Amino acid sequence: MTRRRIVRDAERAAAGAALVAVLLSWPASAMSQRTTIRTGTISVPDGFAVHERRGTDSYPGMIVRADSALVVEYDIGAMAGARVHPSRRGEYAWLVEHEVAGHRAYTGLSSKHGRRRISTTILGDGTDPWTLPANFSADVRDERDVTQFTLIVASYRPGRRR
């Protein structure tokens, strides 16, 4: 690999991380619907549907765009674990720390077999293990997918156990 390509790849990774950091602090779109899930609430853009699944020790589900081209999977609760974390930095092209609803969070982009996957873990302090940590991930093809993923993730608000 040439030095020029390494520099170019590093610049792209830095630009991607910066874009995600900006989008994760962006307010929810006016063209979205606030949806209650078992662990809290989340805003999804128009044209998305939330499908909660049954988990044995966590609260999994999917948020699917109408064209099915973007599927955001989530797994929430103490037994879901922290999937994105600085200790796993080597698994990601880039990893950024940020906040979601006052909670520390990490977002990273991985690339395997030609697929790009963006993932976020929102950490908790252990006081409410039913709503945090919250893991979100999706295969992304373009900036639109990344943007919609980050807007959805940034809108998650943990609730209290029902």
Q: At 11, is the pLDDT very low, low, confident or very high (cuts 50, 70, 90)?
A: low
**Distance separating alpha carbons of residues 141 and 130, to the nearest angstrom:** 32
**Distance separating alpha carbons of residues 136 and 83, to the nearest angstrom:** 9
Q: Where are the domains of the chain?
A: 3-158
- Per cent of the chain over pLDDT 90 is 65
pLDDT of 31: 62
Above 50 in pLDDT, residue 28?
A: no
Tokens 């078992």 locate to 38
Q: Following CA atoms 114, 98, 29, 144 in sequence, which dihedral angle do they give, to the nearest 10 degrees? A: -10
Q: What is the mean pLDDT of residues 37-66?
A: 94
In tens, the pLDDT along 133-158 reads 999 999 999 999 999 999 999 999 99
pLDDT of 32: 81
pLDDT of 126: 76
Say whether domain 3-158 belongs to CATH 3.90.550: no
> What 3-state class would DSSP assign to 161?
coil
pLDDT of 158: 93
Q: What is the mean pLDDT of residues 17-41?
A: 68
Q: Average pLDDT of the chain? A: 86
19, 62, 77, 126 from 39: Cα distances, Å: 28, 14, 8, 14
- Of 10-19, 58-67, 126-135, where does mean pLDDT reach its minimum? 10-19
Q: pTM for this one?
A: 0.80
- Per cent of the chain over pLDDT 70 is 79
In tens, the pLDDT along 97-134 reads 999 999 999 999 999 999 999 999 999 877 777 788 99
Above 60 in pLDDT, residue 1?
A: no
**Distance separating alpha carbons of residues 113 and 103, to the nearest angstrom:** 32
